[in-house]
């Protein structure tokens, strides 16, 4: 289940109800899928063939289509990142800068862990959402954020898009960000 860390105060928010309530107040969509549905040979696998990717997508086909029909997503894919990914360090460096998009950014984690850093309301400031398998999150359009890996540097996630161009990152220069650690 996802956990929150508020960067300015180092306060942690845990427990499904509290996390849901906090994210709802920040207008961030949070849902949970049953990651146990994955066949055991795919549960902790981060180097995936095209066939395995298709199998993961079909395992969650009902959840994906339900989310897509409620929220207008038209396409989806699966990304897998791990130390086996070429240039992972370079990629992470690129990921870890605050930006915005013209459509919401949706990730459904099917294995591993990831973290969204999001600019919250004035009174909250930046907060981290630590995600694990089963967690589904959508960061609203125009909300500054970035997504990166956690210490284990392994993730598999479904991405859903309204239009692929909507996902282009627009850098968000924020002097407040570096202070909020």
| Closer Cβ to Fe ion, 114 or 134, answer by number | 114
- Binding stretches for Fe ion (CB under 5 A): 105
* Least distance in angstroms from the C-beta of 175 to Fe ion: 20
Q: Is 52 annotated as a binding residue?
A: no
User: In this complex, which beta carbon is closest to Fe ion, that of residue 63 or of residue 105?
Assistant: 105
CB of 34 to Fe ion, least distance (A): 26
105 is in an annotated binding site: yes
HSE toward the beta carbon, residue 35, CA cutoff 13 A: 22
CA atoms of 134 and 108, how far apart (whole Å):
7
The whole-angstrom separation of Cα 135 and Cα 53 is 18
99 is in an annotated binding site: yes
Question: Which residue's CB atom is positioned nearest to Fe ion?
Answer: 105
Minimum distance from CB of 141 to Fe ion (Å)? 10
Residue 2 and residue 25: Cα distance in Å, rounded? 15
Residue 58 φ/ψ, nearest 5 degrees: -75, -30
Give residues with Cβ within 8 angstroms of 50, minimum separation 6: none
- Shortest reach from residue 139's CB to Fe ion, in Å: 7
Distance CA 17, CA 39 (A): 28
Q: Is 170 annotated as a binding residue?
A: no
- Which residues does the annotation place in the binding site for Fe(2+)? 99, 101, 105, 145
- Which residues does the annotation place in the binding site? 99, 101, 105, 145
């Amino acid at each position: 289940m996802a956990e929150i860390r508020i960067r300015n105060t180092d306060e942690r928010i845990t427990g499904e109800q509290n996390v849901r309530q906090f994210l709802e107040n920040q207008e961030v969509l949070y849902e949970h899928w049953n990651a146990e549905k994955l066949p055991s040979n795919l549960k902790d696998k981060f180097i995936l063939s095209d066939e395995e990717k298709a199998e993961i997508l079909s395992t969650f086909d009902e959840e994906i289509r339900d989310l897509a029909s409620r929220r207008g997503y038209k396409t989806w894919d699966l990304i897998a990142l791990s130390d086996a990914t070429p240039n992972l360090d370079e990629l992470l460096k690129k990921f870890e800068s605050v930006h915005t998009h013209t459509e919401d950014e949706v990730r459904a984690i099917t294995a591993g862990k990831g973290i969204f850093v999001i600019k919250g309301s004035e009174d909250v400031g930046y907060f981290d959402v630590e995600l694990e398998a089963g967690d589904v999150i959508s960061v609203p359009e125009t909300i500054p954020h970035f997504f990166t890996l956690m210490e284990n540097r392994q993730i598999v996630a479904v991405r859903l898009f309204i239009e692929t161009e909507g996902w282009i990152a627009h850098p968000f220069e924020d002097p407040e960000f570096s202070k909020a650690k």
